[in-house]
């Protein structure tokens, strides 16, 4: 039986300064991975890095915006300059925003697609030659909104559905290179994502209460629970898995409206 281990591996993780990205970074360091951590907030990014370094791994912090082409090129260049290899790319950075077909501006749709899809495309494209050498892997972070339809978050749902399709297509294209490409689809997770998307404290509390009813397990999830699945897909324990979208959502994907 292959145990989950990332000992000696090098992982590049976007959105590492908070939430799922931070939890994933810390878990990867616990499992022995050296890390290139990318994010916009330097202070939060350094806090994540310090927690990871406690596990005696090498950590490179890279401040930048995944919607900026120069930043993305810098992420990859500095990672390779530091570690001279790449085993796992975790495309985690993303955001959510409310809006319907009547209220979403075209620029809002463009912004959502830039961060939730275009950044994945560019980073994955840059990573392929290096992942080919290590027979590495890509783990994309999507959402339950990629597979189920919800009103009021149109651009977000469309962008995450695109991530799911991107994952499957690229997995087929890179299979002959022995590069695995998979996707994790979280349900409602307790992070700052929804507050940054526009919910105030009261609205967020109400949102989490509704999540108890929406998820069959009776609660929202925690970032650490998503990180566990990401680590599994990035490790050799999932060596025969590619092209999957894994719901980690307390059963919400299986719920049918009544």
Q: Please check whether residue 36 is in contact with residue 13, taking contact to mean a CB–CB distance below 8 angstroms.
A: yes
Placement of tokens 């994907």 in the chain: 253
DSSP lists the bridge partners of residue 6 as: none
Q: Which is catalytic among the residues 28, 75, 83, 156?
A: 156
Q: Please check whether residue 63 is in contact with residue 49, taking contact to mean a CB–CB distance below 8 angstroms.
A: no
Q: Please check whether residue 75 is in contact with residue 12, taking contact to mean a CB–CB distance below 8 angstroms.
A: yes
Residue 156 annotated as catalytic: yes
C-alpha 57/C-alpha 37 separation (Å) is: 12
Q: Please check whether residue 174 is in contact with residue 211, taking contact to mean a CB–CB distance below 8 angstroms.
A: no
Q: Please check whether residue 83 is in contact with residue 34, taking contact to mean a CB–CB distance below 8 angstroms.
A: yes
For 234, the token pair is 């990035």
C-alpha 136/C-alpha 129 separation (Å) is: 10
C-alpha 38/C-alpha 72 separation (Å) is: 9
For 160, the token pair is 């995450």
Strand, coil or helix: what is 45?
A: helix
For 59, the token pair is 């950590």
Number of Cβ within 10 Å of residue 254's Cβ equals 9
Q: Which residues are catalytic?
A: 156
């Amino acid at each position: 039986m292959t145990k989950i281990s990332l000992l000696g591996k090098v992982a590049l993780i976007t959105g590492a300064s908070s939430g799922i990205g931070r939890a994933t970074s810390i878990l990867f360091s616990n499992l022995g991975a050296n890390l290139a951590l990318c994010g916009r907030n330097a202070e939060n990014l350094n806090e994540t890095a310090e927690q990871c370094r406690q596990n005696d791994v090498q950590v490179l912090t890279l401040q930048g915006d995944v919607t900026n082409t120069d930043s993305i090129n810098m992420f990859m260049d500095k990672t390779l300059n530091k570690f001279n290899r790449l085993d796992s790319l975790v495309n985690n950075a993303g955001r959510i925003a409310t809006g319907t077909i009547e209220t979403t501006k075209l620029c809002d749709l463009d912004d959502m697609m830039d961060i939730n899809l275009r950044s994945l495309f560019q980073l994955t494209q840059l990573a392929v030659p290096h992942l080919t050498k290590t027979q590495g892997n890509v783990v994309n972070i999507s959402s339950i909104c990629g597979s189920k339809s919800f009103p009021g978050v149109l651009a977000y749902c469309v962008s995450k559905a695109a991530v799911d399709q991107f994952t499957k297509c690229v997995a087929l294209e890179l299979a002959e290179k022995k590069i695995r490409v998979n996707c994790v689809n979280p349900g409602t997770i307790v992070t700052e994502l929804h507050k940054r998307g526009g919910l105030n404290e009261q609205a967020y509390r109400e949102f989490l209460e509704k999540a108890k009813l929406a998820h069959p397990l009776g609660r929202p999830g925690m970032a650490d629970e998503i990180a566990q699945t990401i680590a599994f897909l990035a490790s050799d324990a999932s060596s025969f898995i590619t092209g999957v979208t894994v719901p980690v959502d307390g059963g919400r994907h299986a719920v049918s409206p009544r």
